[in-house]
Structure 1
């Protein structure tokens, strides 16, 4: 090839590359201009305003799948203006709407931010707003699904738990009828019926307590509450259980601490912790109840020297009807609702409950509550104060005396 021919060939290649580059640039400008034109001219102002005020993820896409407008929450699912709609299931939903002309809704599992973690259940609805555009609304229903599943589990678990004592009462009633001529057997079966009736009453009572705690976010009867009085009542209510189990209850820590809340709810919550600590403690051990005022927070800890809780069970220990030791819980008459009541009661009082546990070494449940100043004029009734102190001391003495007998 001669030099002129080489020069001509190089000129041709350069022209071809220049034309090709010009075409690519022109295509890019036309694509961007088309998107800008459709966004500013075609998307109705009302739709854009609605998108800007929506809490759900929503967007407007064109026939090629480009996002023309979007709400702020849409970014959680990787949907951005000027970019294509990446999710194939959402693209297929939009295409089906364009083909049929009728709105369509589907339940999908989507990942947020393009990550494979934390898949969300969404209800996606697509509808056509013009021949060239479709509106896509994505509502995250993951939490609703979780709550619905909790309700279903609660109903199923409650039905299962109620069947046991009800069935036992039925069988024992039949046994009494068959043994009507044997007074000893009648007394034995009657005492069993009483025990099952008490278990049934405890279960229904705790179900009602848990339902009340979950019904509202605010306390209906919040007032200043003395932690000393609450703990004294909770301890006194479990003196007999401690005596029977050979367990000592020791109360220590700060005194004169006050919180705002419902005293009956708090008594039940602390009572549940104390009852669990006694039930899972070996004979001759001690259950400690300690109070610590720390700044604006008061910590009430209930510790035992029992069997402890395995690490695999700690995540679920506050779930309704969950039992770390199913067999032991049945023997001790546990309902599986006590710790769930503790959790919800604490949350209703603006606090939190923490757990420390080691298998074979015991467990410590700590309730942290906002602390308040003692009510004004409290010193007026010194007699009432002394009476409360005597009551608390009497409860502690009864525990000690019962242990030493």
Structure 2
């Protein structure tokens, strides 16, 4: 074998050895990178920033259940960085995802902040982001569930309430047809049909009012509203009802108080309180409507001396179609929507409704609304300022004329 051949063979062997060593080094680096990845508890770059911008509760958890990073909202569920994830259901979800290496979503009821009260319905989603870390996102859907349930109840209750007058009208129409030869009976049935039709119209009207109040649109005609006008209109609309029931209506309290809102909606809301007070008051009693201005708040209280509301009913009295006294509501044609309309109407005006009641002593509904300055008094103040400016201007002009006369 010649020398050049030996050199070529040596070169080839050296090249193969170099390639093998390079492959070994690359493999070693990759193996170390995999090992570091499997054993690392460092949160990936950017994940912390993403968590900080999330509105939902979210956190990164290692294999021991330790929270490595968390969003601000996670604190509502007692999840803190450096602490372990305490909730057993969430831990079970994370363990299941880590075992399969995928993603899973479950609906759970958990408590917030480790409290035993106030369970929340959440949609929890867990995803593996590394061999030792799992991302957990918790979305509170309690309010959404409540709204969905309210919609379902509203449809069911509305259907049930509409069936009664519609069914009555149908039966009465059949009764009229069968009593065509008896004019007296026809008149009686016709009067009852008219009453049922009136009740049906009242129910549909209140359903439409409640739907408008619960819509996302703002109030229609927003302007300064005089509470004096609201009280006067509410009382005037129910004078006949009060006279028929033998109940006196009395108005008292502060005058010239103003709020901002829709006058018609406020009149309907206060009117509903007055109407309820009349219905549940005994003959010869009094219903009082009082107004009190307290700083930036105006309070409108409607009090009666009626049967009162049991403690068990007070929490639900503002629910749609809820009646504390079912028999009396049916007898008087009540729809069970009046107080619900009051609550939503006042809330749309930035206020609240408070209730005080004692069985056998009566009830007081107090409406609290943000107060504004009287626009009339504001115009008077502006006119006074303009008058002072005119007077100052006139004095300056007269002084200037005097100076000019002296110099002349």
TM score, norm. by length of structure 2: 0.80
**Residue 135 of structure 2 is aligned to residue 135 of structure 1:** yes
In the other structure, the counterpart of 1:152 is 152
In the other structure, the counterpart of 1:100 is 100
Aligned pairs (5 A) from 1:296-335: 296-335=296-335
Residues 38, 68 of structure 1: 8 Å contact kept: no
Query: For the structure 1 residues 176 and 123, does the alpha-carbon distance in structure 2 shift closer, same or farther, using more than 3 Å as the test?
Result: same
**Residue 171 of structure 2 is aligned to residue 197 of structure 1:** no
Query: How far, CA to CA, are the matches of 1:378 and 1:81 in structure 2?
Result: 55
SS in 2 for 1:329: helix
Question: Which segment drifts farther, 262-271 or 96-105?
Answer: 96-105
In the other structure, the counterpart of 2:251 is 251
Query: How far, CA to CA, are the matches of 1:118 and 1:170 in structure 2?
Result: 47
Question: Which segment drifts farther, 292-301 or 143-152?
Answer: 292-301
1:254 positional shift: 2.0
1:378 positional shift: 9.1
Query: How far, CA to CA, are the matches of 1:79 and 1:351 in structure 2?
Result: 35
1:198 positional shift: 0.6
Query: How far, CA to CA, are the matches of 2:82 and 2:330 in structure 1?
Result: 61
Q: What CA deviation, in whole Å up to 9, does each residue of 1:35-69 have, x standing for no partner?
A: 9x8343xx221212111111211112223333222
Query: How far, CA to CA, are the matches of 1:197 and 1:237 in structure 2?
Result: 21
Query: How far, CA to CA, are the matches of 2:309 and 2:53 in structure 1?
Result: 48
**Residue 278 of structure 2 is aligned to residue 278 of structure 1:** yes
Residues 299, 369 of structure 1: 8 Å contact kept: yes
Query: For the structure 1 residues 373 and 80, does the alpha-carbon distance in structure 2 shift closer, same or farther, using more than 3 Å as the test?
Result: closer
Query: How far, CA to CA, are the matches of 2:111 and 2:144 in structure 1?
Result: 17
Q: What CA deviation, in whole Å up to 9, does each residue of 1:81-134 have, x standing for no partner?
A: 333333222222222222333311001111222222211111011112223322
Aligned pairs (5 A) from 1:223-242: 223-242=223-242
Query: How far, CA to CA, are the matches of 2:97 and 2:225 in structure 1?
Result: 60
In the other structure, the counterpart of 1:188 is 188
1:379 positional shift: 8.8
Match of 1:38 among 35, 40, 57: 40
**Residue 70 of structure 2 is aligned to residue 70 of structure 1:** yes
Query: How far, CA to CA, are the matches of 1:114 and 1:350 in structure 2?
Result: 33
Residues 242, 248 of structure 2: 8 Å contact kept: yes
Q: What CA deviation, in whole Å up to 9, does each residue of 1:286-343 have, x standing for no partner?
A: 1111122222222211111111111221121111111111111111111111011111
SS in 2 for 1:363: strand
TM score, norm. by length of structure 1: 0.81
Residues 272, 338 of structure 2: 8 Å contact kept: yes
Query: How far, CA to CA, are the matches of 1:377 and 1:363 in structure 2?
Result: 35
- Unaligned 5+ runs, structure 1: 1-33, 381-405
- Unaligned 5+ runs, structure 2: 1-35, 381-408
Residues 217, 348 of structure 1: 8 Å contact kept: no
In the other structure, the counterpart of 1:400 is none
Residues 40, 132 of structure 2: 8 Å contact kept: no
1:207 positional shift: 0.8
Query: How far, CA to CA, are the matches of 1:81 and 1:228 in structure 2?
Result: 57
Query: For the structure 1 residues 252 and 88, does the alpha-carbon distance in structure 2 shift closer, same or farther, using more than 3 Å as the test?
Result: closer
1:169 positional shift: 0.7
Q: What CA deviation, in whole Å up to 9, does each residue of 1:358-399 have, x standing for no partner?
A: 11111111112122222238999xxxxxxxxxxxxxxxxxxx
Query: For the structure 1 residues 204 and 52, does the alpha-carbon distance in structure 2 shift closer, same or farther, using more than 3 Å as the test?
Result: same
Q: What CA deviation, in whole Å up to 9, does each residue of 1:198-232 have, x standing for no partner?
A: 10111111111111111137423210111111111
Query: How far, CA to CA, are the matches of 1:194 and 1:84 in structure 2?
Result: 68
In the other structure, the counterpart of 1:392 is none
Query: For the structure 1 residues 83 and 352, does the alpha-carbon distance in structure 2 shift closer, same or farther, using more than 3 Å as the test?
Result: closer
Query: For the structure 1 residues 287 and 52, does the alpha-carbon distance in structure 2 shift closer, same or farther, using more than 3 Å as the test?
Result: same
